[in-house]
Amino acid sequence: MESQIPYHTALDWLAWQVELGADEAIAEAPVNRFEAAAVPVPVPNPVATPASTSAPAASAIAPPAEGADPVAEARKAATRAGDLAQLAAEMEGFAHCDLRHGARTFVFCDGNPAARVMIVGEAPGREEDMQGKPFVGRAGQLLDRMFDAIGLNRASPDAKEALYITNILPWRPPQNRDPSPAEIAMMLPFVQRHIDLAAPEVIVLMGNISCQGLLGRRGITRLRGTWQEVMARPAMPMFHPAFLLRQPPRKREAWADLLSIQSKLRG
């Protein structure tokens, strides 16, 4: 008799495959793709098709021109954006960032764009990639509790009590690896334009990647707690909530940083 795989073992294997990016089951019988390609595919009515937050198909985006400079192209695209909706469209259609091919969802922002405080994180993780919002899951829940403690909330319609949240990258890197310097550089013009359009009073840099992008420096342990300047705005580097989940004793320093942000807003 053929042995069966235990239920929980099979479930763990399935979760592992999903984490690697598998999103399609394989049929029992082989499929002749040459015959399948000959079958005409109906074209959906673009008016009737609902908007989707999923990553656009690679075929729907024109490939980048050979030899083009990704950073220069990003600057041009970011400059074309006159508002946040146009900026999101330019970013989603930016063909030079190969991370789009492995990501499930384009993650642009969350919260109130009129907020006095703008948080810039690193890149989407697995939960963010699934939900299409930055800072969800355990790290996002901790972030919400942290800022609730000083009277700020991403769901608040009042700009004085609101948060606006984005990331350096809108696409999830494979296996949650750190973004490369090239990936950060090509997306940075969009982040800078994002800050211009949102016009926050205070910027919070969550973690090393956002500090590397907007300050040109890493070393969050040294940088946190000291006010910096980003695009002529005060910026506070802070430990990323994911780091605080691994190192709970460092929450004391994060609390001091939150109090400093609160003082800056009151002052």
| Calpha distance 163→151 (Å, rounded) | 10
| pLDDT for res 7 | 66
| pLDDT for res 1 | 45
| pLDDT for res 52 | 39
Structure tokens at 258: 């939150």
Fold classification of 69-266 is: Uracil-DNA Glycosylase, subunit E (3.40.470)
| pLDDT for res 234 | 98
Edge-to-edge strands, sheet with 233-238: 110-111, 163-167, 117-121, 202-206, 233-238, 228-230
Non-local CB neighbours of 78 within 8 Å, separated by 6+ positions: 87, 90, 189, 190, 192, 193
pTM of the model: 0.77
pLDDT below 50 — which residues of the chain? 1-2, 36-53, 57-59
Count of C-beta atoms within a 10 Å radius of residue 52: 10
| pLDDT for res 139 | 95
User: H or E stretch including 88?
Assistant: helix 84-92
Give CA 192 to chain center in angstroms: 15
| Calpha distance 107→128 (Å, rounded) | 7
Rounded to 5 degrees, what angle do the CA atoms 54, 29, 21 make?
A: 30
| pLDDT for res 68 | 83
